[in-house]
Amino acid sequence: MIDLSDETEALARRLADAQGTSVENVVRQALEASAWAAGIGSQPLRIRDVSPKAVAARRSRMDRLVEEIAAMPILDPRSPQEIMDDLNTL
């Protein structure tokens, strides 16, 4: 076990609370990022932000992407069934 100062532990807890994750994950992310920067580690692990604000932002971006795709012209005049039949013959 590693003994941390009260200040360091409090900072880790505040960051964990803000990110909606555990203190262990916060410490691991920081260590991985430092190891990566020093050239001794693999690429840092990125833990997805699961806060309601972050989830809403991801949903909003995905909705915009879906709208853009739906607005694209249909370039193949065949019915979906004809296209699937052609794909199945491959």
CA distances 21 to 2, 17, 27, 53, Å, are 20, 6, 11, 15
Residue 23 falls inside a structural domain: yes
Q: Quote the percentage of the chain above a pLDDT of 90.
A: 41
pLDDT value of position 68: 93
**Average pLDDT over all residues of the chain:** 88
Domain assignment present for 90: no
Number of domains in the chain: 1
Half-sphere exposure of 31 (CA within 13 A, CB side): 7
Percent of the chain with pLDDT over 70: 94
Kindly report the pTM of this predicted structure: 0.46
| Amino acid 89: pLDDT | 78
In a domain, 88, yes or no: no
Q: Note whether residue 28 is domain-resident.
A: yes
Cα–Cα distance, 65 to 11 (Å, whole number) = 37
Over the stretch 25-68, which tens digit does the pLDDT of each residue have?
Answer: 899 888 888 888 888 877 666 777 888 998 999 999 999 999 99
